[in-house]
A and B are shown apart, each in its own frame.
Chain A
Amino acid sequence: MAVTDAGPATEVAKRPSRLFKNLASKIAAVPMVLVALVIFVGCTIWTIYHSFTRSRLLPAPEKWVGLDNYERLWGENRWLISIENLAIYGFCSLTLSLTIGFVLAALLDRKIRFENTIRTIILYPFALSFVVTGLAWQWILNPQLGLQNVVRSWGWESFAFDPLNNAEIVIFGILIAGIWQGSGFVMVLLLAGMRGIDEDIWKASRVEGIPAWKTYIFIVIPMMRPVFVTAIVIIASGIIKVYDLVVAQTSGGPGIASEVPAKYVIEKMFFSQNLGLGFAASTMMLLSVLVVLIPWAYLEFGGKKNG
């Protein structure tokens, strides 16, 4: 480095204490740290603890019952149907909204006219609350008001499309609404990711004569991995939480055919006055998320240290 001409060096500068380095930002981080610790970690532990008690309307930490709540939960038909619905809804919603979102993004990425307008229209459903979406689709799928009626009025008298009143397929009726709401957002996310890809990559693949669909599948999608991870995390958290859509569209019906775990938890906690069972169900939801998340996080972040 340059030789300084600042007189004879008198004293060696002391290294300042690490504790006070960036003090302002440390202070600013305190509320967030507290929220994370108390609300996320603390309340989770509190919930898990109380799921082992016979809490009814109020938490009753002293009435320890062990695994009773869990036994009851897994013996209950309604919970099993909820889990099954969530699995169907989750799998279909994840694959379909990613596929549809990606296809829409790829179409918009082809430098078309009115891109901004189309993007806004497709993103609009995302601005609606699930309750509004659910109600709108309840009307659209209602045989007397909606799609079935319209098609019949065109002359196809035998047309029947009534998913919300058919216990076998009701979850797919909810799925349609969920995808309608969610794929616009996926599209915008993926479109942003596509725009981040170097124009020269496309030129190179054109010079090499690689068709556009192959370029997307073998080159662009692998390059968009981080964006896909973000999209999947956001979609997946939406899937686990799905509640208001069901309430607005079917209220869990017909019968209990369209129940979902989040609805089960809310109802046990606030309507049936069975906190212990509700907590047990929500603990099971947390567990199922962790079962997916931990191996993924291990692959994603654990591998980095080694290579």
Chain B
Amino acid sequence: MTALWAQVFRRDVAMLLTGGRRGGAGLPVLFFLAVAMLYPFAVGPDAALLARSGGGIVWVAALLAAILPLDRLVEPDLDAGFFDQWAIRGLSEEWIMASRIGSHWLTFAVPLMAAALPASALLGLSGEQVRVVMLGLLAGTPGLAALGVMVAGITAGLRGGAALSGLLIVPLAIPLLIFGAGSLSSGGEGGIALTGAVSLVLLAIAPFAAGAAVRAARD
């Protein structure tokens, strides 16, 4: 059982990294950097303005980048019959979704946080702001990954599921955005702690919600 789960997790990481034919882990990161690069072009090179609003832009870009991998988180494997094959091997959908949240975080959030450093430089953030942004992302991205898997599970198998999942994740991610980006103006700890708390709630419910959704889609 544990061995089977470990194999599934390994495959999840490999699948999400390379993405098969659906684009791998690099795409959301490039998108994230592109937004951070475009913003100074749009608002002009006013360093004070950039430094004041840059942290929020990093958060918005992270949220938008989180939409990109949604369509390959659950649906391709559901279509190809992987979930049924795991089910007859006695691996519950909840464990599969837990594996997927972990692998999605590893392949999406870790590269994103690495890319947040050059993005912060592009936006001219100060050292202290970079520290708060990075801590906030560390606290918030697990919740974002859980949310992504949950939304992908719920919309898997629906017509237009990919577009729908993008629309669904945005309002659900607002608490993460408010506390995460808010920690920048309030100076840190409180906001980051609240971001972490939202992440924990999402991590706790996402495997069950996504697992139940996939089981319901099967009947």
Do A and B come together as binding partners? Answer: no
* A binding-site residues for B, Cβ under 8 Å: none
A-binding residues in B (CB < 8 A): none
